[in-house]
Chain A
Amino acid sequence: MSSDSSKLAFNDGWQYAAAPESTDHVQIDAEYGLFIGGEFVAPADGRYFESINPATEETLSSIALASDADVDRAVKSARKAYNGPWSRLSAADRGKYIYRIARILQERAREFAVIESLDGGKPIRESRDIDIPLSAAHFFYYAGWADKLKYAFPGRKPASLGVAGQIIPWNFPLLMAAWKIAPALACGNTVVLKPAETTPLTALKLAEVIRDAELPPGVVNIVTGAGDTGAAIVNHPDVDKIAFTGSTDVGRLIQRAIAGTGKKYTLELGGKAANIIFADAAIDQAVEGIVNGIFFNQGHVCCAGSRLLVQESVADEVVQKLKDRMETLIVGDPLDKNTDIGAINSATQLETIESYLRLGQEEGAEMYQSSCAVPHRGYWCRPTIFTGVSQSNRIVQEEIFGPVLAIQTFRTLEEGLTKANNTPYGLSGGVWTDKGAKIFKLAQSVRAGVIWANTFNKFDPTSPFGGYKESGVGREGGMHGLAAYVRLEE
């Protein structure tokens, strides 16, 4: 059953049968230790936590919980590797080790994709087609920089920093690990990385790859755990640089914790990006851009286009097309190759999203959800839009981190621009118009670190990414992403 105003019927008749990706070639151990000094070791106080599959609520593996003592051990290992073999290697040889990681990831791509979907809930189609290939490409790109750093900093001599402490989120687990580890290593640093507590598995499998690639022990250390483990890394006196991707709230805590310590840091935080559609846009493709921007990866994307600003004269058309398109989105088993929207990453996150859905209705907005079926067990949210919202609504101001879109109209370019910039965030923005001059004007005027014109959610290792304002500080990716991992001497 489509929306009331729809003239098209999508869901009767010919259906797609289940097309499950096979998982029998995939190896997940019952228990994982911490990866320190080139091998897996037991946690100091013997504590473990479970990683579960959010689509089935089943336990996948038992994961070591790193205590302060474990973090200390990891940092010491990273420091030893930094003072020793890693700094003594030629830059070209450093690059070759990183190339090895990329190549092995390519060889084991399918296994990584399946595990990513099992652990985090994202559709296999996305982990297979986007997350894993981009991760390998990231290692490839930065491997090539290792012996070329002097070209990236005119007039300066780049030198490594030392030990980097890195904390990553659960929405693109392997990709975020690649975004952090690859440039750090290319610039000659060593790493202590903590994956998110709900998605540790691909980072641990990456540790296996790093071990198989024969990187000197201690160059990369993976310590699993939750907030306390992260705090131990941030507060450790022998860490030279902190890199964090996650919520703005935690980013604020980290910035305060590091204050006065002289540690370098980069923060990639939340967002509430506006996707601006002008009347002279290619409307069908813009609608696809909206869908891409907020519904894929379950909306668990910091740069998601979670606000739609549509020019009033085409608003009805856009909303109708959007509703029709939403009807064809399949919410379901992440391991089914036809799934478009997978499981919400955790029970906690689902509660957060659902509280915003209630809030939006309380604030007077009109909620519309597609009519697709969802499985019984597991954490699910149908794609949702809110119309009849205003700029002051909390569902328009606050980051929901789910497949929920708030829709507003505007009349003039200035009004659209004002609304787009009227937010403490500034991670990304979208502009849809067929007129070139307008694209450059908007690109110049929207206060965000990434502007997508006539496209959305495009990522490439060569393209810098990062936010203005409370969306963070620093850039990852591209030549600009090297700056975070070097000290510049004259």
Chain B
Amino acid sequence: MALSAVKTNSALPDLSRVALVDEVGVRERAARFQTRSIKKESKVEALKMVLSMIDLTTLEGQDTPGKVRQLCQKAMHLHASLPDLPHVAAVCVYPTMIGVAKKALGNHDIKVASVATGFPSGMAPRQIKLEETRIAVEEGADEIDMVISRGAFLQGEYAYVFDEIAAIKEACGAAHLKVILETGELGTLDRVRCASVLAMHAGADFIKTSTGKIQPAATLPVTLVMLQAIRDYYYETDRMVGMKPAGGISQAKLAVHYLVMLRETLGQAWMTHKWYRFGASSLANDVLMQLQKQATGVYQSADYFSKD
């Protein structure tokens, strides 16, 4: 396939110098985060933070305008009887649904994120990926979630992958770019780290673990490696990059442990929806149930929380 040269300002980093990662060590450190016991007021604060960081997502072949409108309603009105709830950070949809979402959300703060670039496989010609991105931006997407070309990456075609990200970033204009690494297809944590460094140098505003369409999706170890890459990049360049684990986080307790990991790796500056998101669909309800349990002292039933 002929690749058109794309002009870019950023430079391909020296990937031979990317940090080595020991998998067993990462797993042990990740497991340690899960022994943190988050209770009482710090639990409530964490749960609300989780809510404010959710990108409420629907990316199904069977999505319709009706489905997307319902999603946006839920995004704006999470639960009738819990007071002081933050709203979610964004809704995430396919490009053909951006218009529906924008109309449904009206003037609300909630952002509209759209996938692009042949999501989820990324197996589309470069021109199509660029065109799809432009259309999404024209339709009003605030954020674009792109996928990297995993095949090229695994072949070692780093310049190709880099150029592609840089080109999509350019096509985004003012929209923020999240780069999905699809860590479940990368094989080792070394490669996850390498892909993270590549994406950040190419201009990513956020790096994201997964499309959520394959297993494994987000895990604590993979997320930890990406957070450490962000930290080192920040020390090197003074530029903050955001992080989004997506898929596989449906339990509030696990989401809180992700926040523990964030806090102890990057610190307080990253602990807002501006720099951290959860890509999730059913997580919100579990968080709401936990908040209700904290408020009433009683374990909850899913019957009392709307399933949209």
Contacts of A129 in B (CB 8 A): 35
Mark each residue of chain B from 29 to 64: 1 if its CB lies under 8 Å from any CB of chain A, else 0: 100000111111111011001000000000000000
Cβ-defined contact, B268 with A7, below 8 A? no
Cβ-defined contact, A13 with B28, below 8 A? no
Cβ-defined contact, A16 with B38, below 8 A? yes
Contacts of B45 in A (CB 8 A): 14
A10-B263, A281-B20 known; A288 and B234 CB under 8 Å?
Answer: no
Of the candidates B28, B39, B263, B269, the one whose C-beta lies within 8 Å of that of A14 is B263
A288-B29, A454-B22, A455-B24 known; A16 and B269 CB under 8 Å?
Answer: no
The size bracket of the interface on A is 20 to 34
Contacts of A285 in B (CB 8 A): 21-22, 25-26, 29
A324 smallest CB distance to B (angstroms): 8
B258 smallest CB distance to A (angstroms): 13
A14-B268, A14-B271 known; A289 and B35 CB under 8 Å?
Answer: no
Contacts of A280 in B (CB 8 A): 20
A457 smallest CB distance to B (angstroms): 11
Cβ-defined contact, B35 with A337, below 8 A? yes
Closest partner residue, chain A, to B40 (CB atom): A17
Cβ-defined contact, A289 with B25, below 8 A? yes
Contacts of B40 in A (CB 8 A): 17-18
Of the candidates A13, A289, A320, the one whose C-beta lies within 8 Å of that of B268 is A13
- B231 in contact (CB, < 8 A): yes
- B292 in contact (CB, < 8 A): no
- A19 in contact (CB, < 8 A): yes
Cβ-defined contact, B19 with A284, below 8 A? yes
Cβ-defined contact, B49 with A284, below 8 A? no
Contacts of B299 in A (CB 8 A): none
Q: Chain B: how many interface residues by the 8 Å CB criterion?
A: 34
A284-B21, A285-B26, A454-B22 known; A15 and B267 CB under 8 Å?
Answer: no
Closest partner residue, chain A, to B229 (CB atom): A284
A254 smallest CB distance to B (angstroms): 37
Cβ-defined contact, A17 with B21, below 8 A? no
A17-B41, A288-B28, A454-B22 known; A7 and B49 CB under 8 Å?
Answer: no
A13-B271, A288-B28 known; A338 and B22 CB under 8 Å?
Answer: no
A16-B42, A288-B28, A288-B29 known; A10 and B268 CB under 8 Å?
Answer: yes
What's the Cα separation between A310 and B305 when bound, in Å?
Answer: 54
What's the Cα separation between A328 and B265 when bound, in Å?
Answer: 9
- A283 in contact (CB, < 8 A): yes
Cβ-defined contact, B42 with A14, below 8 A? yes
B260 smallest CB distance to A (angstroms): 8
Cβ-defined contact, A282 with B41, below 8 A? no
Contacts of B20 in A (CB 8 A): 280-283, 434
Contacts of A338 in B (CB 8 A): 36-37
Of the candidates B42, B266, B267, B269, the one whose C-beta lies within 8 Å of that of A17 is B42
A34 smallest CB distance to B (angstroms): 37
Contacts of B269 in A (CB 8 A): 8-9
- A12 in contact (CB, < 8 A): yes
What's the Cα separation between A286 and B271 when bound, in Å?
Answer: 26
What's the Cα separation between A8 and B37 when bound, in Å?
Answer: 23
Contacts of A289 in B (CB 8 A): 25
Cβ-defined contact, A17 with B35, below 8 A? no
Q: A1-49: which residues lie under 8 A (CB-CB) from chain B? A: 2, 7-19
- A125 in contact (CB, < 8 A): yes
Mark each residue of chain B from 200 to 238: 1 if its CB lies under 8 Å from any CB of chain A, else 0: 000000000000000000000000000010010011001
A279 smallest CB distance to B (angstroms): 10
Cβ-defined contact, A7 with B21, below 8 A? no
Closest partner residue, chain B, to A320 (CB atom): B235
What's the Cα separation between A288 and B28 when bound, in Å?
Answer: 9
A14-B49, A284-B228 known; A125 and B35 CB under 8 Å?
Answer: yes
- B264 in contact (CB, < 8 A): yes
What's the Cα separation between A377 and B268 when bound, in Å?
Answer: 29
Q: A139-156: which residues lie under 8 A (CB-CB) from chain B? A: none
A14-B46, A14-B268, A17-B39 known; A7 and B25 CB under 8 Å?
Answer: no
Contacts of B39 in A (CB 8 A): 17-19
> Which among B21, B22, B259, B263 has the greatest number of chain A C-beta atoms within 10 A?
B22
Closest partner residue, chain A, to B268 (CB atom): A13
Closest partner residue, chain A, to B20 (CB atom): A282
Closest partner residue, chain B, to A7 (CB atom): B235
Cβ-defined contact, B29 with A8, below 8 A? no
Of the candidates B25, B29, B35, the one whose C-beta lies within 8 Å of that of A454 is B25
What's the Cα separation between A10 and B269 when bound, in Å?
Answer: 9
Cβ-defined contact, B35 with A8, below 8 A? no
Closest partner residue, chain A, to B41 (CB atom): A17
What's the Cα separation between A18 and B37 when bound, in Å?
Answer: 9
Contacts of A9 in B (CB 8 A): 267-269
Cβ-defined contact, B22 with A10, below 8 A? no
> Which among A9, A18, A284, A289 has the greatest number of chain B C-beta atoms within 10 A?
A284
> Which among B41, B259, B268 has the greatest number of chain A C-beta atoms within 10 A?
B268
What's the Cα separation between A461 and B30 when bound, in Å?
Answer: 25
Of the candidates B19, B24, B28, B36, the one whose C-beta lies within 8 Å of that of A283 is B19
Closest partner residue, chain B, to A16 (CB atom): B42
Cβ-defined contact, B268 with A12, below 8 A? yes
What's the Cα separation between A13 and B45 when bound, in Å?
Answer: 10
What's the Cα separation between A10 and B19 when bound, in Å?
Answer: 23
A313 smallest CB distance to B (angstroms): 12
Cβ-defined contact, B43 with A17, below 8 A? yes
What's the Cα separation between A434 and B26 when bound, in Å?
Answer: 14
Contacts of B25 in A (CB 8 A): 282, 284-286, 288-289, 454-455
Mark each residue of chain B from 253 to 296: 1 if its CB lies under 8 Å from any CB of chain A, else 0: 00000010001101111010000000000000000000000000
B52 smallest CB distance to A (angstroms): 12
A277 smallest CB distance to B (angstroms): 12
A291 smallest CB distance to B (angstroms): 10
A208 smallest CB distance to B (angstroms): 28
A310 smallest CB distance to B (angstroms): 15
Contacts of A288 in B (CB 8 A): 25, 28-29
Closest partner residue, chain A, to B263 (CB atom): A14
Closest partner residue, chain A, to B260 (CB atom): A16
What's the Cα separation between A282 and B235 when bound, in Å?
Answer: 18
Cβ-defined contact, A282 with B37, below 8 A? no
What's the Cα separation between A454 and B35 when bound, in Å?
Answer: 22
B148 smallest CB distance to A (angstroms): 23
A7-B235, A14-B45 known; A337 and B37 CB under 8 Å?
Answer: yes
Mark each residue of chain A from 259 to 295: 1 if its CB lies under 8 Å from any CB of chain B, else 0: 0000000000000000000001111111011000000
List, sorted by A's number, 16 A–B pairs whose CB atoms are closer than 8 Å. Answer: A8-B269, A9-B267, A10-B268, A12-B268, A17-B38, A18-B39, A19-B37, A19-B38, A282-B22, A283-B19, A284-B25, A284-B228, A285-B29, A288-B28, A328-B264, A434-B20
Tell me the A residues contacting B by CB distance below 8 Å: 2, 7-19, 125, 129, 280-286, 288-289, 320, 328, 337-338, 434, 454-455
Given contacts A9-B269, A129-B35, list 11 more A-B pairs with CB under 8 A: A9-B267, A10-B263, A14-B42, A19-B38, A280-B20, A282-B22, A284-B19, A285-B21, A285-B29, A320-B235, A455-B24
List 3 A-B pairs, minimum CB-CB distance, nearest first.
Answer: A285-B25, A19-B37, A8-B267
